[in-house]
Structure 1
Amino acid sequence: MTIESVLSNNRIIAATQLKDIKRADESQCCAMILMNGKLSELMHMPMVHKPLFIHMDLLKGLKNDKEGIAFLKEFINPTGIVTTKGNLIEAAKKEGLLTIQRIFLIDTNSLKTAIQNIKDYRPDAIEVMPGIAPKIVKALKQELDIPIILAGLITTKEDVLHAFEAGAEAVSLSNQLLWNGTTEAITTK
């Protein structure tokens, strides 16, 4: 599986809590990012059918290292992970997991640092925050050749439209009202 195949039929990713994972799995979103939780809860999570990414930086009860990634792969077997940490990107890739590197852009220096880190670790996609700053997509696309997911503070259909118009391959959002919006449904008013 590739990140492009995950995003091929719909470009909405549900950013969800464990308590809402069933609702996200039943929605029309193309994938889910589990935004938090405890390892003990994750071990008893209901089976899901959509690609599942686990946000490693927000998961409690599992160390953020290569052994933690190996455990996650063996006992949970998600599609992939989301993280800000390059060492976890490397470890997850070795385990055959897809990787999304989350970056926070607050100024020019953070942009330069993020581009260098992405070039160094080569995640399968990047999640750019805040998602309401779609003009940054063009600058990133000039430097990088990987899918860009905008996330953070995306709350309306218009925010989603602006992200796609700017060239983002997908958006990740927690607004459940937008989880069922396919690209075609979002783009029609």
Structure 2
Amino acid sequence: MAACSIVKLLCNGYVIPAPRNYEDFKYALEHSSSPSISLLFGDINILPELLVQARAKKKRALVHLDLLGGVGKDKAGIVFLARMGVAAVITTKPQLGKLARESGMLVIHRLFLMDSEAIKTGVNLLKGYKPDALELLPASVPANVVAELAALTGLPILGGGLMHTAEDIKQAINSGLSAVSASKRELWG
């Protein structure tokens, strides 16, 4: 799928709401026009309800596998989520991303950047599979790093973390990110 198409599936502007609790999730459903919501909370007990509510509002729930409790981080767990109707996942683990792709889900690989060595490590992690997008944390990554990763991976580059103001988002987009995820309600408009 083309980079532009993936970004349009995830957001209709530049921000993907990323609630960290149920109250913020409900707020995002009601007040965000984004077609997707990144779930940065939850477990297997509440996930079915969250998926039903998201579908009722015609929104895609991006399930962060590393933050979801109660599901084995293995093939059986990924297949279970796919059968449950999870259409898209976020993960830092290539093996889970690969399994999710094989199960027909969209995959966003999350990469924490602390130094130039993290860039090399991240690119090497992606050699075994190709996610649909790469999300860099923090989103305040310099433009040359965004350009380098886009060139090396051929993926749309998203950002997450440390987005506190509309100006932060503007700077992130100006540095080459296609979109950002944000946990602050006031940035979801």
With normalisation by structure 2, the TM-score equals: 0.88
- Mapping 1:13-92, distance limit 5 Å: 13-19=16-22, 20-26=24-30, 27-45=32-50, 46-48=52-54, 49-75=58-84, 77-92=85-100
| CA distance 1:55–1:137, shift in 2 (3 Å) | same
CA distance in 2, matches of 1:120, 1:104: 18
| Aligned residue number for residue 114 of structure 2 | 106
Classify the secondary structure of the residue corresponding to 2:114.
coil
Aligned residue identity for 2:83: E
CA deviation vs aligned residue, 1:62-94 (integer Å, no higher than 9, x gap): 11111101111112x122000001111111111
CA distance in 1, matches of 2:35, 2:48: 23
Unaligned runs of 5+ in 2: none
The number of aligned residues is 179
CA distance in 1, matches of 2:142, 2:163: 11
> How much does 1:119 deviate?
3.2
1:127·1:149 contact (CA, 8 Å) conserved in 2? Answer: yes
Q: Percent identity?
A: 36
Q: Return the match for 2:180 from 159, 162, 171.
A: 171
| CA distance 1:105–1:9, shift in 2 (3 Å) | same
CA deviation vs aligned residue, 1:27-67 (integer Å, no higher than 9, x gap): 12241110021111113334212121100001111111111
CA distance in 2, matches of 1:40, 1:107: 37
- Mapping 1:81-160, distance limit 5 Å: 81-135=89-143, 136-160=145-169
| Aligned residue number for residue 3 of structure 1 | 6
1:81·1:92 contact (CA, 8 Å) conserved in 2? Answer: yes
Classify the secondary structure of the residue corresponding to 1:39.
coil
With normalisation by structure 1, the TM-score equals: 0.88
Unaligned runs of 5+ in 1: 181-189
> How much does 1:160 deviate?
0.6
Once superposed, what is the RMSD of the aligned Cα atoms?
Answer: 1.7
CA distance in 2, matches of 1:15, 1:9: 15
Classify the secondary structure of the residue corresponding to 2:171.
helix
